[in-house]
């Protein structure tokens, strides 16, 4: 089966612009996660969805960042008024629940965002 | 907040050699994950450890979690060029709910043929 897919693979934008990054999780995975990875660093948690709702958005850096998952499958990460410091690779992951436990997270290839 | 320190930061080995990567946590680990990442690609799940003293192996890679659950090691036996990449350890920092991972900075492994 297909893994997690993310589009676009690369996005170059200008400071102040709005961007949307899309994540298509593995079919049947109810849990979806967004992470951000800066150069030389490990991924940093942004937000976790269980179904359609954001169960934990404590990692979103500020109110310019917002994510949705309206039908419990595809998710979109939205960044308003982009800043140069937003440049990073944005990773999406998904997993399913086995009993009471969430399984390991399967990651997509990421979207490399560059803000000029 | 939980912090993970990985050592070494980078490692160059000759093909066929064994190597070990370490991951040390500032807090007791609920769950410890090992992932591998190649440039331009996502993270590939390797193994997950939860119990103190646990050890898991897959092909030539073995991961261990110490009894105190604050340190993990990843050991590769008879390394191959295909093992090259960045190895990341990640800890469950959601108190056992397993949804929020905190990662170390990674160890860059180069295997020379």
Q: Quick one: pLDDT at residue A1? A: 55
* Interface check B108 vs A, CB under 8 A: no
Q: How many CA atoms lie within 13 A of A25 on its CB side?
A: 27
Structure tokens that stand for B4 in this block: 């993970």
**Residue % of chain B over a pLDDT of 70:** 100
Contact B103 A44 (CB under 8 A): yes
**B39–chain A Cβ distance below 8 A for any pair:** no
Percent of chain A with pLDDT over 90: 90
Residue A82 DSSP label: -
pLDDT above 70 (res A3) = yes
Nearest to A42 among B45, B100, B106 (CB): B106
Residue of A nearest to B33 (CA): A104
Q: What are the CA-CA distances from residue B99 to residues B6, B94, B111 (Å)?
A: 21, 6, 33
| pLDDT reading at A91 higher than 80 | yes
Q: Is B3 helix (H, G, I), strand (E, B) or coil?
A: coil
Q: What are the two backbone dihedrals, phi and then psi, of residue A74, each rounded to the nearest 5 degrees?
A: -65, 145
Give the whole-angstrom CA distance, residue A35 versus residue A68: 14
8 Å CB contact of A48 and B100:
yes
A10-61 confidence digits (pLDDT tens): 999 999 999 999 999 999 999 999 999 999 999 999 999 999 999 999 999 9
Look at residues A38, A7, A23 and name the one whose alpha carbon lies nearest to residue A95: A23
pLDDT confidence of residue B59: 92
Task: State whether B88 and A56 contact (CB < 8 Å).
Answer: no
pLDDT, residue A102, reads 86
Q: Is A100 a residue whose pLDDT tops 90?
A: no
CB contact under 8 A, A59 and B104: no
CA A93 – CA A91 distance, rounded (Å): 7
Could you report the per-residue pLDDT of B45-88, keeping only the tens digit for each?
Answer: 999 999 889 999 999 999 999 988 899 999 999 999 999 999 99
């Amino acid at each position: 089966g297909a893994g997690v897919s993310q589009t676009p693979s690369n996005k170059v934008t200008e400071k102040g612009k709005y961007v949307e990054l899309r994540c298509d999780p593995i079919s049947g995975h109810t849990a979806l996660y967004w992470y951000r990875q800066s150069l030389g660093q490990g991924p940093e948690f942004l937000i976790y969805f269980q179904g359609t709702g954001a169960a934990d958005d404590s990692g979103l850096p500020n109110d310019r960042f917002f994510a949705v998952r309206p039908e419990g499958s595809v998710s979109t990460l939205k960044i308003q008024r982009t800043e140069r410091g937003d440049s990073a690779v944005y990773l999406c992951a998904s997993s399913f629940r086995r009993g009471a436990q969430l399984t390991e997270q399967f990651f997509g290839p990421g979207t490399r965002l560059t803000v000029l | 907040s939980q912090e993970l320190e990985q050592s070494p930061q980078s490692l160059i080995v000759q093909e066929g050699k064994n190597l070990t990567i370490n991951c040390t946590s500032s807090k007791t680990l609920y769950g410890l994950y090992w992932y591998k990442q190649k440039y331009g690609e996502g993270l590939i799940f390797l193994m997950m450890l939860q119990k103190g003293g646990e050890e898991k192996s897959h092909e030539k890679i073995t991961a261990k979690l110490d009894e105190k659950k604050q340190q993990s090691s990843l050991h590769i036996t008879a390394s191959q060029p295909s093992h090259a990449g960045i190895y990341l350890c990640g800890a469950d920092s959601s108190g056992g709910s397993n949804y929020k991972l905190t990662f170390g900075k990674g160890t860059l492994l180069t295997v020379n043929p």
